Chains A and B, each alone.
Chain A
Amino acid sequence: MQDFFGPTLYEFVWVPAIKIALVLFIGVLPLITYLVLAERKILGFLQVRTGPNRVGPWGLLQPIADVAKLLVKEDVIPSRAVKWAFILAPCLVVGPAFVIFAVIPFGPSAEVTGGFDWFVTDINVALLFVLGMATIGVYGIILGGWASNSKFSLLGGLRSAAQMISYEVPQGFALVAPLLMAGTMSLTGIVEAQIEQGVWFLFWPHWWLPFGIAPFMIYLIAGVAESNRNPFDLPEAESELVAGFHTEYTGMRFALFFLGEYANMIVISAVAVTLFLGGWSRPFPNVPSLSFLELGFLPAGLAGVLWFSVKLAFFLFLYIWFRGTFPRYRFDQLMDLGWKWMIPASLGTLFVIGLWKILA
C-alpha cells in the first residue's frame, strides 16, 4: 500500500479512513443502539418499573428487534413533499455527528502507548472543527421540517433550528474557557494540558477554587439544548406538536433522525469529557499516591480508554436522569434563558477566567 499510492496518501487517507471506520462501527454505532436500550432501562428504573426485559435477558436484544422493525417498515414519502430534501435531511443530521468522532482522543497518543494513537487524527484547530460540524446538523433539521409539507413539521423544524442556533453562542463561549486554560485548540493538547497542570479543567485552577464549574455548567445546559433533549425538547414534544420535525418520517429515515439525536448526545458528552473532565486521564492526575488508578497492568493505553468510557457513561446517565425528572421549557422561555441568562453568564465566566489567567 505504502509504495502503491505514495506515503502521503497512506498517512493521510487510508489509515484515518480505516481508523474512523473502526471507531464508528465498533465503538459508536453499537454504543448508540445500546444507548437507546440503556435510556429505556434507566428511565424505567427511575420510574419504579423495569424497562424492556422480554427480548433477551435484561432486554439486551431489544435494540436488534427495534432495528429489524424499523428496517421492514413501509417507507412513506408524503406526496407533496420535496423529495430531494426529504431524503437528504436525515443524512445531514447524522453525518456531521459521526465526523466529529475523528478528532476526539479516546486514549493517549503514540508516545505514551508506544506506536499506536488512540485518536483518528489530531488537528490543531479541533475545537473549531467540532463547533463547525455541530452547526451543519441544524441545517438537516430545518430541511427535514420544511420538506415534509406539513404545518406541524414546519413549526417543529423552525423551533428546533432557532433553539439550536441560540444555544450555540453560549456553548461556544463556554468552550473558549478550556481554550484559555490550556492555551491550545487541539483536543489532544487540551487533555495533555490537564495532565500537565494536574487538575481537570472542571476544578481549575484549584479544587478549592473551581472556576471551571461555571463554564462546565453552561456547556452542560447548552449541550442539552443543542441535542434537543429534555428539558429543552419542545421541538419533539409529543404532547404538543405530535412529533415535531420528524412527524412524517417513517422506517429507516426516522431511525436515522433518532440515531442522529443520540449521536449528538454522545458527541456533546465526549467533548465535555475531553474538555472538562480530563479526557482519558485518571482522576487526580497529579497525586502520585493514587497512581494505581493508572491501571498500568492494562496494555497500550487501554486504561485511558476505560477511564474515558466511565466518564462518558456518567454524562450519558446525566442526560437520561434529566429526561426523567424535569418538565419541559416553553419555547419562548427557552429562548429567554439562552439569550438573557446563558450568554451574559458565559461572558462573565470568560472574563473571570481570563482575569485569573493574567493575574496568577
Chain B
Amino acid sequence: MTDAPRRHDTLFEVEEMELNFGPQHPSTHGVLRLKLKVDGERIVDCYPVIGYLHRGTEKLFELHPFFQNVPHTDRMDYVAAATNNLAYVGAVEKLTGLVIPPRARYIRTLLAELQRISSHLLWLATHAIDIGAMTPFFYCFREREEVLDLFEEYCGARLTLNCMRPGGQPFDLPVGWTDRCRSFVEGFPAKVDEYEGLLTENRIWKKRTVGVGVLSPESAMAYGASGPMLRGSGIQWDLRKAMPYEAYGEVDFDVPVRHNGDTYDRYLVRMEEMRQSARILLQCLDKIPEGPIMAKRPRVVKGPKEGEVYHGIEGPKGEIGFYIVSDGTPNPHRCRVRPPSLLNLQTVPELAKGQLVADLVAIIGTTDIVLGEVDR
C-alpha cells in the first residue's frame, strides 16, 4: 500500500498513508493531482503532479503570426481571457514599438477590470462551495452573467474573448454599452456587501479560513508568488501601481494589503479588489476619450530581427507575463508565458504541511489556480 518507513518510536506502529487527491476530484479546480502522505488527518507531505492539461500552447505560438495568436492566449487562463490577451498584445506592442491611441487604452482597461471582477466572482463561488457554503456560488454566477453579457455585446464571445489586437482594438464600443456597464457597476457594491454578509463575519467561515495556509512574506517572494497571494502576506506590490500600463496611471484606486498571510486575509484582499475594480470602472467610464481605436500598423506585424521583450501585467491571479523573442518573421521565434497560477501552485506543498486534509481544499481554493494556465 505504501513505501513509507514504519515508525517504531511510538507505542503502536504507525504508518503514513499515501492518498491520491486525484486528477478527477470535485474540488481540484481542473485536473490537478496531489500525492499526499497523511498521518491520520495531518498532511505530512504534498507533491503536486501537473501536466494533465498540457496542450502545447507555447509551441502553437511559434507557428502563427503575432495577430493570429491572440485566440490561443484566451485559452490559457480560460476564466480571465481579457487579461491574457492584454499581456500578449502589450508584449507585442512593446516589441514592435507600436503606440496605441488613448481610446484603445481606456477600452482595454475597462475590459481588464471587468474581467478581474468576473474572475474573482468565479473564485469566490468555487472557494465557498468547496468549504461548504453552496449559495454564494449561485449569487456570484448571477453577477457573472451580467459581466459576460457585457463582453458578449462588445466582442461577440463570452469566455474566449479574442478582444484585443496588437495595435489597438478591433471593435469600438457598441451603442449603449457604457450605460449598461455603468448600471452594472453602480449596482455591484451592494452585491459584494451581500456576499460579505453571508461569509465575512460568519463564525464557521472564519474558523475554516483564519490561520489556515499561512504564507510568510519571505516564502511568498522566494516562490515568486504574485497577486493576492503576495498582497495577503503583507507585501505591497501591484503592477498596476508599480509599473502602470494602459490607463491605470490616470485613474485613482487603492491596492488592498493584509498582513497575516492566511486564507481569510486573501479572501478579504480579493473582496476589496472587486470593490476597487468597480471604482476604476466608474472612473474609466467617465474619462474615456473619443478617437481612433487602432494604431497605424502594417497588416502583418513583424518583430525586429533580434528582439526580445518581457511584458507583465497584473492579472486577477497574479502577474501574467509574456517573454517574446522575435527573428524578423511574422511569427514569434519563442513565446514563453509566465503563468501566475503555476508559481502560486508552488506554494501549496509548504502551505499544506501540517494541515488537515480538509484544509487542503481551502488552500487550493485560496491559491486560485486555473489548470489551463498551469499546464498551458
Contact = CB atoms under 8 A, between A and B. Distances in A.
Interface residues of B, number: 30
Contact of A240 (B133, B134, B361): B361
Contact of B205 (A237, A324, A327): A327
A325 B41 contact: no
A151 B17 contact: yes
A57 B133 CA distance: 29
A229 B20 CA distance: 26
B36 to A, nearest CB: 11
Interface centre among A46, A323, A327, A331 (most CB of B within 10 A): A327
B208 A327 contact: yes
B19 interface: yes
A327 B358 contact: no
15 contacts: A43-B134, A47-B137, A151-B17, A238-B26, A239-B129, A239-B132, A323-B134, A326-B132, A327-B131, A329-B207, A329-B208, A331-B41, A331-B358, A333-B207, A333-B208
A92 to B, nearest CB: 26
A332 interface: yes
A231 B25 CA distance: 21
Contacts of B129: 239
Interface in A284-334: 323-333
Nearest to A337: B207
Interface of B: 17, 19, 25-27, 41, 128-135, 137-139, 142, 198-199, 202, 204-205, 207-208, 356-359, 361
A330 B138 contact: no
Contacts of A231: 132, 204
A330 B359 contact: yes
A80 interface: no
Given A329-B208, A330-B207, A330-B359, A233 B135 contact: no
Interface residues of A, number: 26
A234 interface: yes
A150 B198 CA distance: 36
Given A327-B132, A327-B208, A332-B41, 6 more contacts: A231-B132, A239-B26, A240-B361, A242-B26, A329-B207, A331-B358
A47 B198 CA distance: 13
Given A48-B139, A239-B27, A326-B132, A331 B356 contact: yes
B128 A47 contact: no
Q: Which secondary structure characterizes the binding site on chain B?
A: helix
A151 B19 CA distance: 8
B133 A327 contact: yes
A54 interface: no
Contacts of B361: 239-240
A73 interface: no
Given A325-B198, A330-B359, A47 B27 contact: no
Contact of B358 (A233, A240, A323, A325): A240
A131 to B, nearest CB: 27
B43 to A, nearest CB: 13
A230 interface: yes
A326 B41 contact: no
Contacts of B134: 43, 47, 323-324
B122 to A, nearest CB: 16
Contacts of B356: 330-332
Contacts of A333: 207-208
Contacts of A240: 27, 357-358, 361
Contacts of B204: 231, 326-329
A330 B358 contact: yes
Contact of A327 (B19, B25, B26, B128): B128
Interface string A327-349: 11111110000000000000000
B107 to A, nearest CB: 31
A192 to B, nearest CB: 39
Contacts of B131: 327-328
Contacts of A237: 132, 358
A112 to B, nearest CB: 44
Nearest to B205: A327
Interface string A44-83: 0011110000000000000000000000000000000000
A226 to B, nearest CB: 18
Nearest to B130: A239
